[in-house]
Amino acid sequence: MEKPIIPKLIRHASLRQLQVFEAIARHLSFTRAADELHLAQPTVSAQIKNLTDVIGLPLFEQVGKKIYLTDAGRKLHRACRDVFGALGNFEMEAADLKGLKQGNLRLAVVTTAKYFVPRLLGAFLEGYPQIDVALKVTNRERLLERMVENLDDLYVIGQPPTDAHFYFEPFMRNPLVMIAPTRHPLANAQHIELRQLAAEPFIMREPGSGTRLAVERQFERSGLKPQIRMELGSNEAIKQVVAAGLGIAVVSAHTLLADGASGDITVLNVDGFPVYWDWQIGRLSEKQPSVVAQAFLEFITSESAELIKAERSAGADQLHAASQ
């Protein structure tokens, strides 16, 4: 019988060493990796020293107080993700054969999606309590970087890239509404024309934000350009600034649901609004979803409509009005 060829790395390096390395490479921090793995930092350092001796090349380099992956480190990090991903998939498939759903799900979402994705996850985990979920909330620019780096199983975004390397499908509508302070002169007006707001100071999300792209396109269709007073990186900050009377803004109606819309904010009745975009969920095209990821995909596409109905019946008046 032909003897299997076992790479030197597998013969001399332990899975624990590779796990420690992968955590450091992901965080670019020995301290954060030690915290994640519940290890003492000297233990982490010793594991990396032993792995470096096996590889025969430095895996990290330090510049000032920051560490970076070397070329060898980047290649090993890709290999580790492949190995751990394959082992993780096998674990999930084995559990699936037993009639169970267990394993890990890495999910990354844009900041606005944080207002509803945790509720979907909560409902999903009620049916599959043995699944561990890592949820990363970040801005659109960083989410696109994570997609290129293949750091997660699934991604939720409002404006997905059109690159053929990614596959996305819509699962829920995202109504974008115009908000203003309740004392605004047009607060109770009906059928406001967009040109009436062209000179208003606008509070905008950062460049590259999906909401901002939608607003700019809507203005362009009318031959107008919003007068941007301020750019902010969070919906909470935007709502506070609008409530303070510093301008008007466009936000996803979902952002008005978390704590209820502030009594200092109203949704303006503007012609052409709400602007409807779809929330989309996707992955790398060449990456087959794991058993757990596939289960979540099927769940989210079937349950998202029920989520909206539940929110309306619970008294989410702003979202209900925006969706008419």
pLDDT of residue 148: 87
Output the pLDDT for position 319. 44
* Tens of pLDDT, residues 221-238: 888 888 899 999 888 899
Give CA–CA dist 284/297, Å, rounded: 14
What's the CA gap between 238 and 215, in Å, rounded? 15
Confidence (pLDDT) at 322: 42
What the chain holds in terms of domains, given with CATH numbers, is: 8-78 (1.10.10.10), 81-172+278-314 (3.40.190.10), 173-277 (3.40.190.10)
Nearest to 227, CA basis, from 236, 219, 238, 239: 219
Residues 294 and 208: their CA atoms lie apart, in Å, by 29
State which residues of the chain have pLDDT below 70: 1-12, 92, 95-102, 258-262, 304-324
What is residue 315's predicted lDDT score, i.e. its pLDDT? 39
Model pLDDT, residue 98: 59
Peptide bond into 274 cis (omega under 30): yes
